Amino acid sequence: MKALILSGGKGTRLRPLTYTGAKQLVPVANKPILWYGIEAIVAAGITDIGIIISPETGEEIKLKTGDGKLFGAHITYILQDQPLGLAHAVKIAQPFLGDSPFIMYLGDNLIEDDLKPFFAAFKEQNLDALILLRKVSNPSAFGVAKVDEQGRVLQLVEKPKVPPSNLALVGVYFFSTAIHHAIASIQPSARGELEITDAIQALINFQKPVEALQLRGWWLDTGKKDDLLEANRIILDTSLEIDLQGEIDSNSQIIGRVEIAAGSKIINSTIRGPVIIGKDCHLENCFIGPYTSIADGVKLIETDLEHSVILQYAQVSGVHQRIVDSVVGQRAKLEATVRRPKALRFLIGDDSQVELG
């Protein structure tokens, strides 16, 4: 069994952050989104992993993620020159996949469920495709499945105006080698892409065994700012433990589940968890509220912050109004010279400088 992780795409819904970086490397609880998928796949016992990359962000992903040793895996990088669809990604990965069945995982997705039971069901039932589904309130925004009472998939529709169900396709799929024949039989969609939903529908039309299982836990597609913040909240809520390695002065107060990495200094500040703070940060005269992730090398002076994600080496100073529901990019600088009313919300890209005066 092999794995194929899709980590290309332009990440337009997370701009301006993704003008300068890969959306799959944006951190959730100070760990790149992509890494959660790799770890879940390795935990299921699959260690031969191919990662689809794009020309724009591929080198950054390779540099950050490496050859797989960090995860106990072997990673092969596969370049997709143009974003021509999920099925196209499988097509160009065929030399890597060979005659092996595989799991396909969209690199900007996060799921709570363990992959092992789904992997076991795929093998035991000798399926050609197993798709994972989750009930959603807005099925028109997703690929949607119609299934019978036994879990057999009857129909797949991509972003239908009149959905046949409220069961959305999660970005995790299990395939046999039959998917390659199915992809070879389909044509590009109206948007010029080879759709994986069309390929799975072709399997159904060929009367191949295609079944679905529903997730029990949460599923998040982190393509938008609010989804990213929600993923950060959930991970901090469910996984964070108390670990105080940094230097905390006697005038500071740490409340609840807080992780502070080595080399960070906390001066005259209050931190109310769940909060994670990376290495070599400097926080002075700050209040850091729940569900905040602060990456390595961040400097915060006189800052009131909660439910936000601050990326590496960003600086925020003198903003006396509470910053909430915000994402601040790498090396960005945000400073205020005049007090302003109410809470502030930001989505600030890498290397930006914002002055509130």
Where are the domains positioned within the chain?
Answer: 2-235, 242-356
Average pLDDT, the chain: 90
Which CATH code fits 2-235?
3.90.550.10
pLDDT at residue 339 above 70? no
* HSE-up of residue 250 (Cα within 13 Å, Cβ side): 0
Token pair for 74: 């072997």
pLDDT at residue 135 above 80? yes
In sequence order, what are the beta bridge partners of 291?
none
* CB-based contacts of 82, cutoff 8 Å, min separation 6: none
Mean pLDDT of 134-159: 86
pTM > 0.75: yes
The C-alpha atoms of residue 79 and residue 93 are separated, in whole angstroms, by: 9
Give the pLDDT score at 355.
Answer: 55
Token pair for 312: 């590496």
Give which of 110, 129, 114 is closest to 170, Cα–Cα: 110
pLDDT at residue 238 above 80? yes
Give the pLDDT score at 201.
Answer: 93
How confident is residue 164, by pLDDT bands cut at 50, 70 and 90?
confident
pLDDT at residue 19 above 70? no
How confident is residue 225, by pLDDT bands cut at 50, 70 and 90?
confident
Give the pLDDT score at 12.
Answer: 47
pLDDT at residue 3 above 80? yes
Give the pLDDT score at 10.
Answer: 53
Token pair for 158: 């991509």
Residue-wise pLDDT tens digits, 266-298: 999 999 999 999 999 999 999 999 999 999 999
Q: Is the dihedral of CA 303, 306, 308, 312 positive or negative?
A: positive
Give the pLDDT score at 310.
Answer: 95
What torsion do the CA atoms of 194, 196, 199, 203 make, to the nearest 10 degrees?
180
Q: What angle do CA 166, 168, 171 make, to 5 degrees?
A: 170
The C-alpha atoms of residue 321 and residue 254 are separated, in whole angstroms, by: 21
Mean pLDDT of 203-226: 89
Q: What angle do CA 322, 325, 329 make, to 5 degrees?
A: 100
Residue-wise pLDDT tens digits, 25-77: 889 999 999 999 999 999 999 999 999 999 988 999 999 999 999 999 999 99
SS3 call for 324: strand
pLDDT at residue 131 above 70? yes
CB atoms within 10 A of CB 190: 7
SS3 per residue for 112-124:
CCCCHHHHHHHHH
pLDDT: is 346 or 104 the higher one? 104
Asked whether 7 and 22 are in contact (CB, 8 A), the reply is yes
Largest CA distance in the chain: 70
CB atoms within 10 A of CB 338: 9
pLDDT at residue 11 above 50? no
Mean pLDDT of 103-114: 93
CB atoms within 10 A of CB 57: 22
Which CATH code fits 242-356?
2.160.10.10
Query: What percentage of residues in the chain have a pLDDT greater than 90?
Result: 68
